[in-house]
A and B are shown apart, each in its own frame.
Chain A
Amino acid sequence: MADYTIDETVDITDVVCPVTFVKAKVALEELDEGQLISIRMNDGEPVQNVPRSIKEEGHQILKLTDNGDGTYNLIVRKVGD
């Protein structure tokens, strides 16, 4: 699988629900359409909920990687303005 070119990153491991999704949403708002963002999140509630919430907002989920240290990296392509 090809590597993605990431335009921005955001780390949401320092906050808890619902600020996890809020922080991700805020970072996505800053992007232009089509840009890619890598979101680092904790295992547990964040990885169970944030990817789904982002998808419900209409964005494209490209890849979710388990970092093996209790965190995950989610790569998202922004859809829409």
Chain B
Amino acid sequence: MKITVAGAQKDFPGGLTVAQLIELENVETPEYVTVSLNDEFVENGAFTSTVLNDGDSVEFLYFMGGGC
């Protein structure tokens, strides 16, 4: 199935969960990432239970604390 991740469309196996996508994409600081699926937030506790579908769009939002 085709999923857009951070603006780039890629191919993924069907039945992929958000948690699995995070691993495949080598997301930095995976314990502290915010995930948006089709412009809605996915609860942190729901990463393993949320299954992705063809045409979905996923964004990873990271903590950035510097300002110094």
Question: Do any CB atoms of chain A lie under 8 A from CB atoms of chain B in the complex?
Answer: no
Chain B residues at the A interface, C-beta cutoff of 8 Å: none
Partner-B contacts on A (CB < 8 A): none
